Amino acid sequence: MRLILNVIWLVLCGLWMALGYIVAGIICCILIVTIPFGLASFRIAAYALWPFGRTVVDRRDSGAASTIGNVIWFIFAGLWLAIGHVLTGVALCITIIGIPLGVANFKMIPVSLMPLGKEIVELP
């Protein structure tokens, strides 16, 4: 079932959302100081391509630096990416088959708003 959902996700919204994260990551890596944001953006892009069967958990070793980084990320990129998830999720929830995909989009909003201090892990 995960494979089917991931393939439908990839066709309907995964590719576009991942491209948004890749663009944000490239911009962050061009500006040398924001390379950690770019790396986090690339991690989330991989998650946005194939989300079913994986989840986001908090890292225990993250500290105040990730909190400060998340505030900066929220202002410059997180809010816009979260708006993209909301709009895509609402559009997917209009159809019956798109409801699980819309819910998955809504579940990605917290990590799109604050990606630092998070880790993407496989579900058992």
> Which pLDDT tens digit goes with each residue over 32-73?
888 988 998 999 999 999 888 888 888 888 788 888 989 988
Whether the CB-CB separation of 73 and 34 falls below 8 Å is answered with no
Tokens of 29: 């890596």
Give which of 92, 91, 85, 75 is closest to 111, Cα–Cα: 85
Residue with tokens 């201090």: 117
3-state SS class at 122: strand
pLDDT tens across 71-108, in order? 988 988 889 989 989 999 999 999 898 898 999 999 99
pTM given for the model: 0.82
Give me the helices (H) in the chain, please.
2-9, 15-30, 35-49, 64-73, 79-93, 99-107, 109-113
Point out which residues pair with 121 in neighbouring strands.
Answer: 55
3-state SS class at 88: helix
61/18 Cα distance (integer angstroms): 27
pLDDT tens across 29-39, in order? 998 888 988 99
